């Protein structure tokens, strides 16, 4: 069955760095656009970054210049490198997989990994 599993979250001080990973299984990874979203309690889910199957990327303004999304198709894994973290980055970070075309399959969400930025 299809599954997305995030890892790498934790507690970090302001200005610190974390690298999140999302391992996909049960899908043909190369057919999927991969993204990261985040959600804090009481707030709407926010798009963070996206990467195409050809490795084109886009970022939300709030993280541009600080976060980098990448993918390793041989390992069916997408990464989010987060640098110069701020308290407002605190959230659950969720991995998302969207098929390039509806005929390929459905979209999937991971369960999320918690990132807390605090002194």
Distance between CA atoms of residues 109 and 37, nearest Å: 10
The mean pLDDT value of the chain amounts to 96
- pLDDT category at 67 given cuts 50, 70, 90 is very high
pLDDT for 104 equals: 76
Stronger pLDDT, 103 or 14, i.e. the higher one: 14
Q: Residues 87-116, buried b or exposed e (16+ Cβ, 10 A)?
A: eebbbbbbbbbbbeeeeebeebebebbebe
How many CB atoms neighbour CB 26 within 10 A?
12
Residue whose C-alpha is closest to residue 70's, from 22, 38, 104, 25: 22
Quote the tokens at residue 85. 């973290």
The CA-to-CA distance between both ends of the chain, in Å, stands at 40
């Amino acid at each position: 069955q299809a599954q997305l599993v995030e890892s790498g979250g934790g507690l970090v001080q302001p200005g610190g760095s974390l690298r999140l990973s999302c391992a996909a299984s049960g899908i043909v990874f190369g057919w999927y656009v991969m993204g990261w979203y985040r959600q804090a309690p009481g707030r709407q889910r926010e798009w963070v970054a996206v990467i195409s199957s050809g490795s084109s990327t886009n970022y939300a303004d709030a993280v541009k210049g600080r976060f980098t999304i990448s993918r390793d198709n041989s390992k069916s894994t997408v990464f989010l490198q987060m640098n110069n973290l701020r308290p407002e980055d605190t959230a659950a970070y969720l991995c998302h997989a969207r098929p390039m075309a509806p005929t390929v399959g459905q979209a999937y969400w991971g369960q999320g990994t918690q990132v807390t930025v605090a002194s």
